[in-house]
Amino acid sequence: MSRWLKRVKRIVPWVAGALVVVVVTAAGLQSLLSHLSLRNHPPPGRLVELNGRQVHLLCAGEGSPTVILEAGAGSLAWMSVFSEIAELTRVCTYDRPGYGWSEPASSPRTAEVIVQELKMLLQAAEIKPPYVLAGHSLGGLLMQLYAARFPADFEGVVLVDSSHPDQVHRTSDLKEIEGLVLVLKVVGPLGLARILLPVPAGDPDSRDILVREQERELLMTNRTLRTIVAEMSALRQSLREVGNSFVDFGNKPLVVLTGGRRQVEWWHHMQEDLSRLSTNSEWQMVEGAGHFIQHDRPDAVVDAVRRVIEKSAATADGPLP
């Protein structure tokens, strides 16, 4: 037995040393790949200074209102529908600080902070209201708070499988998210997220393969992974901030899109509940679509934006004679 223990004692330092080498090598490779991802993929939009940091903003098209697209993660999540919406009116999307081409911020990644940053970004870029606010997933939650904080800025809203402030009470999703945060803190710096996470999600045929590769590369950079962790860690606070706010769209047009493949009763109840934020709303279950409706059924998202623009114009003109 003592001979066996001696062998183990001799082996342990070698094993520990080998693990250190593997970890350092993996972390170094992840840092290098993160750097190359940003260097090899130039931003398609422009960089706007916000609080001393550069934030990526992409706009196209002409007309009013301007559609503001808020993603659950990076701006490339909207590329399946961006060009089509640009044919309707002016459209803008951006990378929140820390995502994609935007430099990270040191401030907390709560909904309140992010919404105030968006307001400052639009002002700095001279993108004036009125807006149609369109948000997917967490982006939908942010658009709800933006509408509550700046009600004079918007004429309509499109929520694409949006988060709901009551998720903190109605589901166990947050426990799973908090578990994922712990995993990402470990595997992110080692580059293992590139292997373990199925990104980008949604129908791959909905956008060019180069865009999909670019989206994956930018989602896997160290600064984006750290930002995802920061936002998910602050999610309970973000949900409370929206839940404690007076969110009421009045009679401004609202379209709520829900992925038809997600057959979860509590999710459908919350999506229906979101449609009550306006007296002039539609709730549409999008057949054949999962959570990323803009990828699985881009036509449904473009049509929803079109309907909101048309309804907002009709509302502004007053009732028909």
In this predicted model, what pLDDT tens digit does every residue of 186-200 receive, in sequence order? Answer: 666 665 666 767 666
Burial of 69-81, coded b for 16+ CB within 10 Å and e otherwise, reads bbbbbbbbbbbbb
Q: Is 158 exposed, middle or buried (0-12, 13-18, 19+ CB in 10 A)?
A: buried
> Of the ranges 32-36, 121-125, 306-310, which one carries the lowest mean pLDDT score?
32-36
Q: What is the pLDDT of residue 320?
A: 38
pLDDT band, very low/low/confident/very high, at 321 (cuts 50, 70, 90): very low
Q: What is the pLDDT of residue 45?
A: 95
pLDDT in tens, 252-268: 999 999 999 887 888 99
The first and second tokens of residue 66, run together, are 């301007």
Strand order in the sheet with 154-160: 46-50, 53-60, 91-94, 66-70, 131-136, 154-160, 254-259, 281-286
Give the orientation angle of helix 222-233 with respect to helix 2-40, to 10 degrees.
100
pLDDT in tens, 44-95: 999 999 989 999 999 999 999 999 999 998 899 999 999 999 999 999 999 9
Q: What is the mean pLDDT of residues 279-295?
A: 95
Q: What is the pLDDT of residue 143?
A: 98
Q: What is the pLDDT of residue 216?
A: 85
pLDDT band, very low/low/confident/very high, at 222 (cuts 50, 70, 90): confident
Residue with tokens 């002039």: 280
**Quick one: which of 56, 82, 50, 83 has its CA closest to 69?**
82
Q: What percent of the chain has pLDDT over 70?
A: 78
pLDDT in tens, 149-189: 999 999 999 999 999 998 866 655 666 666 776 777 666 66
Range 46-51, long-range pairs (CB < 8 A, 24+ positions):
47/101, 48/121, 48/124, 48/125, 49/124, 50/97, 50/117, 50/120, 50/121, 50/124, 51/105, 51/107, 51/117, 51/120
Q: What is the pLDDT of residue 120?
A: 97
Q: What is the pLDDT of residue 319?
A: 43
